Amino acid sequence: MKNKLKLIIIVVFLIFCFVIFFKGLNNSNTYIPKINNEKNIPVFKAKEFNSNNYINSEKIFEENIYYIVNIWASWCVPCRKEHSLLIELSKNKSVKLIGLNYRDNLNNAKKFINELGNPYAKILVDRDGILSVEFGAYGVPETFLIDKDKNIIKKFVGPINKKIVEEIKIIIK
Partner 1 sequence: MKILKILLIIFLMIGLSPLKSDEKNKALKNKILKNVRCLICQGQSVYDSESDFALSIKLIVDKKINKGSSEDQVYEFLRKKYGDWITYDPKFNKNTYILWLLPILLFLFGGAIIYKKIIKKNYKKKL
Which parts of this chain interact with partner 1 (CB under 8 A)?
29, 31, 33-34, 102-103, 128-130, 132-136, 138-139
Nearer to partner 1, 40 or 161 (CB): 40
Pure H helices in 27-161: 57-60, 77-90, 106-116, 130-135
Q: Supply the minimum distance, in Å, between the C-beta of residue 30 and partner 1.
A: 8
Q: Supply the minimum distance, in Å, between the C-beta of residue 88 and partner 1.
A: 28
Euclidean distance between CA atoms 168 and 114, whole angstroms:
26
Q: Supply the minimum distance, in Å, between the C-beta of residue 49 and partner 1.
A: 18
Q: Supply the minimum distance, in Å, between the C-beta of residue 163 and partner 1.
A: 24
Tell me phi and psi for residue 39, to 5 degrees: -125, 125
Nearer to partner 1, 24 or 33 (CB): 33
Q: Which residues pair with 156 in a beta bridge?
A: 143
Residue 78 burial (C-beta neighbours within 10 Å; 0-12, 13-18, 19+): middle
Q: Supply the minimum distance, in Å, between the C-beta of residue 95 and partner 1.
A: 24
**Distances, alpha carbon 29 to alpha carbons 24, 32, 86, 139, in Å:** 9, 9, 27, 15
Nearer to partner 1, 31 or 163 (CB): 31
Nearer to partner 1, 54 or 117 (CB): 54
On whether the CB atoms of residues 89 and 119 are closer than 8 A, the answer is yes
Nearer to partner 1, 134 or 147 (CB): 134
